[in-house]
Structure 1
Amino acid sequence: MFYDLLIPLDGTAQADRVVQLAARAAIAGQSRLHVMCVVDPAYLTSPEDSHGIEPDGLTYPRANEQSERAGQIVAGAVETLKRMGFEVEGHLFGGDPFDAIVKNATRLRADLIIMGHRHLSRLQRLTAPSTADKVLERAPCPVLVETSPDL
């Protein structure tokens, strides 16, 4: 059985299917779900930065947009899973998605990672391997992948 599940989301159309897959794999009342989204660290802002103004007076609206969007992705999934009766925590991280997923799966002692996978052409895989492929190679636990033929 899977008790601690890590659910990395990236805001693609596939995210809803990943959340539904996580709900099927988890056990209501027993499993703890951790929904996460990773933002480029250059765009990650804290809730205190909500006005987009740095101490030196410069604004960075793009960073706020990225952090806010990631927060909405996580909050939406958390709300959906809580309505289904699950214990859920949401997390925002800055950094490389692959590193953040593997590091947090280890830190949270995840029993299972549930994530989406984009289909890439051979050229795309050579120039920029998918995060899911990299996670599959280095994950500290099993990985359940929702594939989408239309993406």
Structure 2
Amino acid sequence: MYQKIILAYDGSVESQQALLNCKEISQWQHAKIHLLSVVPNDTIPIGHETSYYTEQHNQVEELRRVKTLKEGVARLNEEGLEAIGELLKGDAVDQIVKYASSIGADLIMVGHKHRDNWLERWWRGSIPKALIEQSPCSVLVVIIK
């Protein structure tokens, strides 16, 4: 059923747990796993509330994400699974949805940790929620407690 699985992966606790679940699912199906990491585009500072990324910050973040992707792919390959890593730039939801459409993905997996503070939930938004609304395929949200 699932031949092409996308895992939104940034090395966080949430994505590490999703990676563990992804290994189990892909073994059932002999699926190819696409680890995706999305680096935001440069943003323009609007005020104190808005964070922005400098060119130097983007380069450091890209290097960190490439390293994380390589480690994730290596972990999956060691398990005998077929996996590739892709670093994308832009809005996380937009890039994941575009990539899923371009490869004909069957499943997108993403980790999620419930936030206790309503302000934190509001401020951070919900990538899993947006993916569910926009995805061309099924979305599996791995909840981290």
Q: CA 1:79/1:86 → structure 2, altered by over 3 Å: closer, same or farther?
A: same
| Match status 1:95 vs 2:90 | yes
TM-score by length of 2: 0.82
**Pairwise CA RMSD:** 2.1
Large movers: runs of 4+ above 2 Å: 27-30, 120-129
TM-score by length of 1: 0.79
**Where does residue 142 of structure 1 map in the other structure?**
138
Local SS of the residue matching 2:17 = helix
For residues 27-66 of structure 1, the aligned pairs below 5 Å read 27=27, 30-42=30-42, 60-66=55-61
Report the Cα offset of residue 74 of structure 1: 0.9
Unaligned runs of 5+ in 1: 44-58
Whole-Å separation in 2 of the counterparts to 1:134 and 1:29: 26
**Where does residue 48 of structure 1 map in the other structure?**
none
What percent of counterpart residues are identical? 28
Unaligned runs of 5+ in 2: 44-53
Report the Cα offset of residue 25 of structure 1: 0.7
Local SS of the residue matching 2:20 = helix
For residues 55-134 of structure 1, the aligned pairs below 5 Å read 60-120=55-115, 121-134=117-130
